[in-house]
Amino acid sequence: MSEKIIEIKSIAKKFGLFEAVKDVSFHVNQGDVYGFLGPNGAGKSTTIRCMLSLIKPDSGTIKIFGKSIFTDRNEILSRTGSIIEKPDFYKYLSAYKNLEIFSRLSRVSVGKKEIYKMLDFVGLGGREQDKFSSFSHGMKQRLGIAQTLLHNPDLIVLDEPTTGLDPQGIIDIRNLILRLKNEQHKTVILSSHNLAEIEIICNRMVIINKGVSVVEGDVKALMNNEDLVVRIEVSDKDKSKALIMSQYPNIHITDINETSIELPLEKSKISELNKDLVNAGIGIFSIEAKRKLEDYFIKMVNA
C-alpha cells in the first residue's frame, strides 16, 4: 500500500457566519496526481489554503508527510511547492529576480544556473530579465510553476492552474503535470472545477461541494463508463415503465417529463432494452447515456 502523503480529517472553517468548509476529509498517496474537484465556491481554495497554513481551520486535523501542519509548518512547506489561485509576483521585478527572491526562502541552495534552467524548463528561456508586469497570463502561470518546482519539492499543490489559459496553454500545463508524475514521481494535487481535466490527468480524486467532501476514490472507478444513467424519450411512458420494471424489478425509474424517463443501467444492456421496447411497439425518440458521476457533477454545478 502506498504511503499517505496527505491526511485531512473533518476540517471546517467559518468566515463570520459563512461556512466555507463544513466537513472535508480525504487522503493523498505518494505518487498520486490527485484531483480536487468541485464547482466554484465549493470550498476548494479554502481547503487548500488550510493545507498550506494560510488559513487556520476552526476544527479538524491536517497531516502532511505524517506531520501536523500546525506544529511542523516549516518542515512541511520546505518539501511543498504551490500555486494558489494565480501566481502573483513582484510586478517591478524581472522573472529571474522574482525566482531569486523566493528561492532564498527555500531550504535548499538554488543558484543562478538552476534558476535559468528552470525558466528554460517552463518555456521562459530568453525572457529571464523581462519584468513580470510585461508577461501574458500564460507566462505568469509558467513562472508560477517554475517557482513551485525550483526547490525540487516532493508535493506540488496547484490550485486551478489552467484558469484563463488558451487551449495550447492548458495542454502544456497538463503535459507538464504528467511529466512531473511520470518522470519525477512527484505527488501532485490539482484543484479544478473541470471534470474532464481531472479525468485526463488524475488517478485519484475527491469531489467537494458546499464545503463537504462528497465522494473520494480512484478516478477510473468513479468515472466508470459501464455505470451509466440512461434517459429515454418514448411514445408511451407508462407502458415503457411497466416493461422495464418487469425485466429489472429493483431498478429506480425517474420521471423527467411527459415523455422521458431516466434509469441507471449498465452500458451492455442499453441495446437490449432498446430492442425490447421496440418489440413491445413503443416508439423511441431518443436514448441518451450519461456517466453517473458526470451527471451528478453537472447537477451539482447547476444547482
What is the four-CA torsion angle of 142, 147, 148, 151, rounded to 10 degrees? 140
Beta strands in the chain (DSSP E): 4-15, 18-29, 33-37, 59-64, 67-68, 80-83, 155-159, 187-192, 204-209, 212-218, 227-234, 254-255, 260-266, 284-291
Question: Which parts of 135-240 are beta strand (E)?
Answer: 155-159, 187-192, 204-209, 212-218, 227-234
**For residues 165-204, which are near another protein according to CB under 8 A?**
none
Contact string (CB under 8 A) for another protein, positions 135-164, x = contact: ------------x-----------------
CA distance 128 to 125: 6
Q: Between 155 and 201, name the residue whose CB sits nearer to another protein.
A: 155
Instruction: Show the binding pattern over residues 11-30: x = contacts another protein (CB under 8 A), - = does not.
Output: ----x---------------
Query: Minimum CB separation from another protein for residue 255, in Å?
Result: 44
Query: Which residues, 6 or more positions from 66, have their beta carbon under 8 angstroms from its beta carbon?
Result: 4
Can you count the helices (H) and strands (E) in the chain?
A: 11, 14
State which of residues 1, 16, 71, 105 lies at the interface with another protein (CB under 8 A): 105
Pick the closer one to another protein by CB: 87 or 233. Answer: 87
Instruction: Please list every residue from 55 through 84 that binds another protein, using CB under 8 A.
Output: 55-56, 73-75, 77-78, 80, 82, 84
Q: How far is the CB of 217 from another protein (least distance, A)?
A: 28
Rounded least distance, CB 182 to another protein, Å: 25
- The 10 Å Cβ neighbour count of residue 199 is 18
| CA dist., res. 28 & res. 217, Å (int) | 10
198 to each of 73, 78, 125, 187, 217, how far by Cα in Å? 28, 27, 29, 15, 12
Residue closer to another protein by CB (options 107, 117) is 107
User: Which residues between 107 and 136 bind another protein (CB under 8 A)?
Assistant: 107
Q: Among residues 68 and 182, whose Cβ is nearest to another protein? A: 68
User: Considering beta carbons, is residue 13 or 204 the nearer one to another protein?
Assistant: 13
How far apart are CB 115 and another protein at their closest, in Å? 15
**Cβ atoms within 10 Å, residue 180:** 20
- Residue choice 88, 166, 255, 266 for contact with another protein (CB under 8 A): 88
Q: Which is nearer to another protein, 16 or 167 (CB)?
A: 16
Q: Rounded to the nearest whole angstrom, what is the least distance from the CB of residue 107 to another protein in the complex?
A: 6
Q: Which is nearer to another protein, 19 or 236 (CB)?
A: 19
- Minimum CB separation of residue 81 from another protein in Å reads 8
| Beta carbons of 54 and 69 less than 8 angstroms apart | no
- d(Cα 222, Cα 267) in Å, to the nearest integer? 15
CB of 8 to another protein, least distance (A): 17
Q: Which three cell numbers stand for residue 199?
A: 479525468
Contacts of 20 (CB under 8 A, 6+ apart): 13, 14, 43, 46, 211
CB 300 to another protein: min, Å? 24
Residue recorded with cell 520546505: 78
Binding residues vs another protein (CB under 8 A): 15, 49, 52-56, 73-75, 77-78, 80, 82, 84-93, 97, 101-102, 104-107, 147
